[in-house]
């Protein structure tokens, strides 16, 4: 209902089994645990040798259970239609910390999810502190923007977690994509011909969020830090970045 959406979702979230849906839940939330959701939205590309375009994938991990994958959203979902899924998933998992990739279509998630009618708490998003030469200052923007400089670092977070047994994966699609994510001749790590890497990067983003999880966030506590609350009172927040 519109009135309930004005200030966020107030009812308890419950998922009902439906084999035709895009969401797979492996573990229900534990009230005191911290969760992170890595989001890789589809750009509609069809990798070499594949028959299907990229999928939108969101991977939920439980930080307090050894980065255990507790839920996976995956399918041919447009970025606009992915937002309500992510809103409910995030609230179901204790207002999970959200790390959306914002290279292309992911910007829709970064813009729509923290604003009306969803109002997902802005401090529950990963913010990248980048230098903006046009504004001659650092700009804190919601989401992770992958480029050649930081792509290797993002992948190494997953590689290190696997080597250190610091991630638990139940999802077969994630396992399949990881097994077929290789170094190419050009020195670039990507999916082999005929395979996708959406699940791989969604998991990478979730693990990056686990490394950057804000220390002030506590389940059930105030979701607005003092410096952000001051900006809200002054009504000077940027509609996209939240700062």
- Provide the pLDDT confidence category of residue 223 given band limits of 50, 70 and 90: very low
**pLDDT of 99 above 80:** yes
pLDDT at 136 over 80: no
Tell me the average pLDDT across 134-149.
Answer: 77
CA distance 183 to 181: 7
Give the pLDDT score at 21. 82
The predicted structure's pLDDT at residue 137:
61
**Residue that the structure tokens 């930081």 belong to:** 150
State mean pLDDT over 205-217.
91
Has residue 218 got a pLDDT over 50?
A: yes
Using pLDDT thresholds of 50, 70 and 90, give the confidence band for residue 237.
Answer: very low
Contact 76, 53 (CB under 8 A): yes
Chain-centre distance of CA 60, in angstroms? 8
Query: Is residue 145 over pLDDT 50?
Result: yes
Q: Average of pLDDT values for 23-30?
A: 95
* 55-62 average pLDDT score: 96
The rounded percent of the chain whose pLDDT value lies above 90 is 53
Question: Does pLDDT of 238 surpass 50?
Answer: no
- How do 35-40 and 97-100 pair as beta strands? parallel
Is the per-residue pLDDT at 3 higher than 50?
no
Query: In terms of DSSP bridges, do strands 127-132 and 97-100 run parallel, antiparallel, or are they unpaired?
Result: unpaired
Chain mean pLDDT for the chain: 81
Q: Looking at the predicted structure, is the pLDDT value of residue 243 above 50? A: no
Residue 51 is predicted with a pLDDT of 62
Q: What is residue 189's predicted lDDT score, i.e. its pLDDT?
A: 81
Per-residue pLDDT of 164-189, as tens digits, reads 999 999 999 999 999 999 887 767 78
The two three-digit tokens of residue 212, written as one number? 């950057």
- pLDDT at position 231 is 34
CA count, 13 A, side-chain hemisphere, 96: 34
Letter string b/e over residues 159-185, b meaning 16 or more CB atoms within 10 A of that residue's CB: eebeeeeebbbebebbeebbebbeeee
């Amino acid at each position: 209902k519109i009135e309930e959406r004005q200030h966020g979702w107030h009812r308890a979230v419950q998922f009902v089994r439906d084999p035709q849906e895009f969401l797979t839940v492996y573990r229900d939330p534990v009230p005191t645990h911290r969760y992170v959701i890595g989001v890789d939205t589809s750009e509609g590309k069809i990798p070499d040798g594949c028959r299907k375009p990229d999928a939108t994938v969101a991977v939920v991990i439980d930080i307090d259970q050894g980065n255990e994958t507790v839920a996976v959203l995956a399918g041919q979902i447009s970025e606009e239609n992915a937002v309500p899924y992510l809103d409910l998933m995030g609230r179901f998992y204790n207002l999970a910390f959200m790390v959306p990739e914002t290279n292309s279509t992911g910007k829709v998630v970064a813009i729509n999810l923290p604003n009306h009618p969803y109002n997902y708490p802005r401090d529950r998003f990963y913010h990248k502190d980048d230098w903006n030469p046009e504004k001659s200052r650092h700009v804190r923007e919601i989401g992770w923007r992958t480029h050649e400089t930081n792509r290797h670092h993002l992948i190494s977070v997953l590689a290190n977690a696997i080597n250190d047994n610091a991630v638990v994966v139940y999802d077969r699609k994630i396992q399949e994509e990881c097994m077929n994510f290789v170094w190419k001749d050009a020195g670039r790590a990507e999916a082999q011909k005929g395979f996708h890497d959406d699940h791989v990067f969604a998991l990478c983003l979730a693990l990056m969020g686990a490394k950057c999880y804000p220390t002030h966030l506590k389940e059930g506590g105030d979701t607005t830090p003092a410096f952000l609350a001051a900006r809200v009172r002054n009504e000077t927040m940027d509609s996209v970045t939240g700062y």
